[in-house]
Amino acid sequence: MQTPALLLPQRPSDAPETLSEYRARGGYGGLANAQQHGAIWLRSEVTAAGLRGRGGAAFPTATKWQLAADAAGDEKFVVGNGGEHEPGSDKDRYLVAHHPHAVLEGLLLAGFATGAQKGYVYLIEDMTAQRAAIEQALAEATAAGLLPFPVELHLGPTTYVAGEETAALESIEGKPAKPRQKPPFPGQAGLFGKPTTVNNVETLAHVAWIAREGGAAFAAIGTAESKGTLLFTLGDEVVHPGVYELPFGATYRDLIEGKGGGLKNGRTLRAFLPAMSAGFLLAEHLHVPIAYETLRPLGTGPGCGGVKIVDDTTDVVAMTIGIAEFFMKEQCGQCPPCRMETNQFVHILKAVQAAKGPGYDDKMKKLADFSRKKGRCSLIEMAAAPVISALSCFADDFARAAGPGAAPEA
């Protein structure tokens, strides 16, 4: 299949793209277009593009921008969220390290569209290469007089929850990176209580492309409800691990076999998790076009695209425990239902592993139902998605592990 390269053009070098290299492919042309036509034009191009956020929740970007643009206030902020810390996802790190100017231009555009006077690029502390790339891009753009407002780099702590948008705002304010109660949403009252737009760095790089090439060109790529391209990460389970760009409408076969070269060591694909906080898909779903509208009925979504492979040798109970332990360790402790849910998942799954797990299926589903919407952030639902999905996708494996008499209730 033809794979348009909106974000990851072919390059001779692996170093961060310089300003002159970026400009040679039209870089900062989108910002010039926006400055010529105005903020309303830019917001309408992004509406026409049908762009949805690439930070995981797929929220329509233009709708988010409108909220901040309409919010009263003489001071507004914009934040580019590059706090990626989801196991198996490397796409934001890759993008920032290789194309810092595209992210920066997108941030300037998001600020322009919403009336911001200051911007922040938000990374986390372990991102050494990304930090250097952004610092270099900021220095080049400043020297070239490209920044209509000041942009600062902020490093949050290396935790998963620090990537949640309000946790990122707390960190920029100098506080521990823990999510706030919402509402108010950042667009209403964000950084220092002022209207703030938080966008994922991949979303921002798409914005730069849209402002340059037009919303209609972006909307021409993809499917009815899922527009443009998106980035994926494939891990060591495939022949060619790496970060790849594919248009919506491509299939997971295009990704795993086409880009990744298939599984290593002659292994057979049994299932895969499109992202850590999503539901599993089976090998028979390899042909399903990747789109919000096709994955939703299957109980999953593309998330942030870090694909985890389940092959014929994977111990799915141990793998599910690994996922549950990640969420248990990374939850920030502010909400009792989240603490309880994530701890209990691990406890019950370990009982299954030890063949002492009667009623595990029902217990975990009740826990997930009880916890839904009871957290300050969506980690509480993200933790449940892969675990509950594993119970049904791999029901026989769990029943076998749990031992006789512990089979799930019909």
Ligand X SMILES: Cc1cc2nc3c(=O)[nH]c(=O)nc-3n(C[C@H](O)[C@H](O)[C@H](O)COP(=O)(O)O)c2cc1C
Binding site for ligand SF4 (CB under 6 A): 161, 179, 331-335, 338, 375-377, 379-380
Q: Which residue has the tokens 């409108």?
A: 66
Can the peptide bond before residue 183 be classed as cis, meaning omega within 30 degrees of 0? yes
Backbone φ/ψ region at 223: left (φ over 0), alpha (ψ -120 to 50), beta: beta
**Pattern 132-171, ligand X, x by CB under 6 A:** ----------------------------xx-xxx------
3-state DSSP assignment of residue 26: coil
Q: Which is nearer to ligand X, 290 or 310 (CB)?
A: 290
Binding ligand X (rule: CB under 6 A), the pick from 27, 30, 56, 301 is 56
Q: Residues 31, 116, 198, 346: which binds ligand X (CB under 6 A)? A: 198
**Which listed option, ligand SF4, ligand X, none, makes contact with residue 308 (CB within 5 to 8 Å by class)?**
none
* Selected binder of ligand X within 55, 88, 106, 156 (CB under 6 A): 55
Nearer to ligand X, 196 or 251 (CB): 196
CA distance 146 to 100: 14
Torsion 139-144-145-149 (CA) sign: negative
Q: Which of 226, 156, 165 is nearest to 196 (CA)?
A: 165
Query: Min. distance of Cβ 179 from ligand X in angstroms?
Result: 7
- Residue type at position 54: R
CB of 379 to ligand SF4, least distance (A): 4
Neighbouring CB atoms inside 10 A of 410's CB total 3
Integer CA distances (angstroms), 299 to 146, 277, 282, 283, in order: 44, 12, 12, 15
Candidates 22, 45, 54, 77; binder of ligand X (CB under 6 A) is: 54
- Picked from ligand SF4, ligand X, none, the partner binding residue 105 (CB below 5 to 8 A depending on kind) is none
Task: At 182, give phi and psi (nearest 5°).
Answer: -120, 145
Least distance (Å) between residue 42 CB and ligand X: 16
Which listed option, ligand X, ligand SF4, none, makes contact with residue 375 (CB within 5 to 8 Å by class)?
ligand SF4
- The mark string for 5-44 relative to ligand X (x by CB under 6 A, - otherwise) is ----------------------------------------
The entry of ligand X, ligand SF4, none that residue 111 binds, CB within 5 to 8 Å by partner kind: none
Q: Least distance from C-beta 345 to ligand SF4, angstroms?
A: 13
Q: How far is the CB of 164 from ligand SF4 (least distance, A)?
A: 7
Contact 130, 99 (CB under 8 A): no
Asked if residues 202 and 91 have their Cβ atoms less than 8 Å apart, the reply is: yes
159 makes contact, choosing from ligand X, ligand SF4, none, with CB < 5 to 8 Å by partner type, with none
Residue placing its CB nearer to ligand X in the complex, 81 or 251: 81
Number of residues that bind ligand X (CB under 6 A): 23
Q: Which one of ligand X, ligand SF4, none interacts with residue 160, CB within 5 to 8 A by kind?
A: ligand X
Cβ 228 to ligand X shortest distance, Å: 13
Residue 193 has what DSSP assignment?
A: G
d(CA 168, CA 326): 20
Least gap, CB of 308 to ligand X (angstroms)? 17
Nearer to ligand X (CB atom), residue 269 or residue 332: 332
Q: State how far the Cα of 147 lies from the Cα of 31, in Å rounded to an integer.
A: 10
Q: Reading across the β-sheet that carries 151-156, which strands appear in turn?
A: 151-156, 118-124, 77-81, 196-200
Query: Which residue, judged by CB position, is nearest to ligand SF4 in the bound state?
Result: 375
Of these, 26, 40, 59, 193, which contacts ligand X (CB under 6 A)?
59
| Partner that binds at residue 333, options ligand X, ligand SF4, none, CB closer than 5 to 8 Å by kind | ligand SF4
Residue 57 sits in the site that holds ligand X (CB under 6 A): yes
Provide φ and ψ at 228, rounded to 5°: 85, -160
What residues have CB less than 8 Å from 98, skipping those under 6 apart? 8, 11, 14, 16, 17, 133
Find out whether 304 and 275 touch, Cβ atoms under 8 Å: yes
Sheet order of strands, 242-247 included: 242-247, 229-234, 306-311, 269-273, 281-282
**SS in 3 state form for 56-84?**
CCCCEHHHHHHHHHHCCCCCCEEEEECCC
Residues lying near ligand X in the complex (CB under 6 A) are found at 53-57, 59, 64, 81, 83-85, 160-161, 163-165, 198-200, 203, 377-379
